[in-house]
C-alpha cells in the first residue's frame, strides 16, 4: 500500500447569488481537493479548508514529495512525519490545512483497503443517523427591513424541510442583530437556534448580544470574539449564561489545549479539513473530553469534509453521558455551492434534517471526475519519479 502519487485539484465556481456575513461577501467558492493514489490501485480523497492556491503549493511542493513511498495505511506515522518536517517554521496556518487534506485522503484510502468505513476506523459508529443543524441566514444585498424578513422566511423554510436546529449569522450591527435574534425565535419557538458572529464583536458588544441570545433561549454563541484574544472568552463567560463555541480558526491538539486552558469555551469546533485532519481531530476531541467539553466540527466545503464530520460525530460520546443523551449536531451548510452539490456520484444523504452515516469503505462519498473537470482551475501531480507534474 505504498503511496504512488499525490494529485491536487483547485476547484472554483461563481455564485448566482452572492452572500455575505459579518466580514465580507462571497461571489465564488474555492476548494482544494487532494487525491492520494497507491501502488495497488486504490485512491483516497480529502479536502482542505482555506486559500486553495496557497495550500495547493504546500501540498505539491512540500508535503507530497516527503510521503511518496510510505505505507498509506500508516496515518499516524505519516502525520507525524509531515508535522516534524515543517515544525520549525509552520506549526499552524495554511501548511496545516495542507496536512489536513492529505490526512483525510489517507483515512479514505485506508478504509477502502481494510474494507471499513471511516467511522469503523475511528472506533465504531454509535448511531446511524446524525442530527444536523442548517447553517444559513447569510446576508443579501437588500435594505435591512427586507433582509430581516427574508432571513426569517429562510429559517422557517429550513424548519419546514425537517431541520430541528439551525444557526444564524450575526455581527452586521447590534440593532439588526437583536431584531434577527428575536424575530427568528418568535417565528420558531421550538427550534434549536444558535448564532455565529464570525468574530465580529468586541467584549462589551459580545456581552450585550450574549444576554439577548440567552433571553431568547439560543443554544450557543459561536465565534463571539477574535481568535487572537482567547483570554477574553473567560471574561465573556463570566457575564453570560449561553454556551460559547469557537475553534474553526484553531489547529492541532496543541492549539486547542491552549484555547481550552484559557477558559470560557464550552463547545469546541475544529474543522477536519483545517485542524490537522481526522487524525488530529480525534486527539482534539480527547483533550476536550478530558476537560468535560464537547466537540462538534465546523463544516465548510464539499461532500468530503461533510462525510468526515459525519463519521466523526457518529462515533462521539457526549459529555457528560446520561440515559437521555445530549444531541451533538452536524453542521450542514445550506448556501449555494455547486462544488458540494454537482460533482459527486455518491453523497452524504440528509433526510428530514438528519445525515445518514455512510457505511461503505472509506469516507463513503464518490466524485464524478468528469463533472469535476468543469470546475478545475489548476491541478498538479507528484509521482514516485520525484518530479512534480502540472
Q: What is the pLDDT of residues 40-69, one digit of tens each?
A: 999 999 999 999 999 999 999 999 999 999
Residues 20 and 84 in one domain: yes
Report CA-CA distances (Å) from 279 to 55, 229, 308: 19, 27, 11
Number of helices and strands in the chain (H, E) = 14, 17
Residues 182 and 303 in one domain: yes
Q: What is the pLDDT of residues 202-247, one digit of tens each?
A: 999 999 999 999 999 999 999 999 999 999 999 999 999 999 999 9
Whether the CB-CB separation of 271 and 297 falls below 8 Å is answered with: yes
Whether the CB-CB separation of 208 and 240 falls below 8 Å is answered with: no
Query: What is the Cα–Cα distance from 252 to 284, expressed in whole angstroms?
Result: 7
Catalytic pick among 10, 199, 237, 298: 298
Model confidence at 127: pLDDT above 70: yes
Predicted confidence band of residue 389 (pLDDT cuts 50, 70, 90): low
The answer to whether residue 237 is catalytic is no
Average pLDDT over residues 102-114: 98
Number of structural domains (the chain) is 2
Omega of the bond prior to 25 within 30 degrees of 0, cis?
Answer: no
State the pLDDT at residue 12: 98
Write the secondary structure of 288-334 as one string of H (helix), E (strand) and C (coil).
HHHCCCEECCCCCCCHHHHHHHHHHHHCCCCCCCCCCCCCCCEEEEC
Residues 192 and 232 in one domain: yes
Residues 124 and 95 in one domain: no
Query: What is the Cα–Cα distance from 143 to 151, expressed in whole angstroms?
Result: 12
What residues make up the domain containing 241?
119-366
State the pLDDT at residue 386: 52
Residues 105 and 148 in one domain: no
Residues 222 and 246 in one domain: yes
Residues 191 and 83 in one domain: no
Residues 147 and 109 in one domain: no
CATH number at residue 323: 3.20.20.120
CA proximity to 43, closest of 138, 107, 92: 107
What predicted TM-score, i.e. pTM, was given to this entire model?
A: 0.97
Q: What is the pLDDT of residues 318-343, one digit of tens each?
A: 999 899 888 999 999 999 999 999 99
Residues 230 and 109 in one domain: no
Residues 359 and 380 in one domain: no
Query: What is the Cα–Cα distance from 109 to 71, expressed in whole angstroms?
Result: 11
Query: What is the Cα–Cα distance from 259 to 73, expressed in whole angstroms?
Result: 31
CATH number at residue 18: 3.30.390.10
Report percent pLDDT > 90 for the chain: 97
Residues 339 and 373 in one domain: no
Residues 269 and 247 in one domain: yes
Amino acid at each position: 500500500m505504498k503511496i504512488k502519487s499525490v494529485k491536487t485539484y483547485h476547484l472554483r465556481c461563481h455564485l448566482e447569488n452572492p452572500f455575505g456575513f459579518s466580514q465580507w461577501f462571497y461571489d465564488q467558492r474555492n476548494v482544494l481537493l487532494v487525491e492520494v493514489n497507491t501502488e495497488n490501485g486504490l485512491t483516497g480523497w480529502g479536502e482542505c479548508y482555506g486559500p486553495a492556491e496557497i495550500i495547493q503549493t504546500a501540498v505539491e511542493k512540500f508535503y507530497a514529495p516527503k510521503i511518496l513511498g510510505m505505507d498509506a495505511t500508516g496515518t499516524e506515522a505519516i502525520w507525524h512525519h509531515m508535522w516534524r518536517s515543517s515544525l520549525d517554521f509552520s506549526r499552524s496556518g495554511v501548511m496545516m490545512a495542507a496536512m489536513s487534506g492529505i490526512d483525510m485522503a489517507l483515512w479514505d484510502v485506508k478504509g477502502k483497503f481494510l474494507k471499513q468505513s471511516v467511522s469503523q476506523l475511528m472506533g465504531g459508529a454509535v448511531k446511524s443517523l446524525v442530527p444536523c443543524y442548517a447553517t444559513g441566514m447569510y446576508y443579501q444585498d437588500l435594505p435591512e427591513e427586507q433582509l430581516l424578513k427574508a432571513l426569517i422566511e429562510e429559517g422557517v423554510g429550513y424548519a419546514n424541510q425537517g431541520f430541528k436546529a439551525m444557526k444564524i449569522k450575526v455581527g452586521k450591527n447590534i440593532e439588526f442583530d437583536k431584531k434577527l435574534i428575536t424575530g427568528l425565535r418568535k417565528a420558531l419557538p421550538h427550534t434549536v437556534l444558535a448564532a455565529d458572529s464570525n468574530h465580529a464583536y468586541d467584549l462589551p458588544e459580545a456581552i450585550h448580544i450574549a444576554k439577548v441570545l440567552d433571553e431568547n433561549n439560543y443554544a450557543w454563541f459561536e465565534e463571539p470574539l477574535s481568535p487572537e484574544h482567547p483570554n477574553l472568552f473567560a471574561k465573556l463567560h463570566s457575564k453570560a449564561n449561553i454556551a460559547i463555541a469557537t475553534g474553526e480558526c484553531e489547529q492541532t491538539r496543541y492549539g486547542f489545549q491552549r484555547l481550552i486552558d484559557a477558559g470560557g469555551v464550552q463547545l469546541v469546533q475544529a474543522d477536519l479539513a483545517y485542524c490537522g485532519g481526522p487524525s488530529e481531530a480525534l486527539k482534539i476531541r480527547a483533550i476536550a473530553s478530558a476537560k468535560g467539553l464537547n466537540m462538534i466540527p465546523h463544516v465548510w466545503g464539499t461532500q468530503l469534509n461533510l462525510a468526515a464530520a459525519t463519521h466523526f460525530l457518529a462515533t462521539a460520546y457526549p459529555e457528560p453521558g446520561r440515559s437521555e443523551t445530549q444531541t451533538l449536531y452536524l453542521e450542514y451548510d445550506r448556501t449555494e455551492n455547486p462544488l458540494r452539490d454537482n460533482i459527486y456520484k455518491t453523497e452524504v444523504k440528509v433526510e428530514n434534517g438528519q445525515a445518514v452515516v455512510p457505511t461503505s469503505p472509506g469516507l463513503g462519498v464518490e466524485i464524478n471526475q468528469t463533472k469535476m473537470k468543469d470546475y478545475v482551475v489548476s491541478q498538479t501531480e507528484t509521482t514516485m519519479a520525484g518530479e512534480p507534474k502540472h
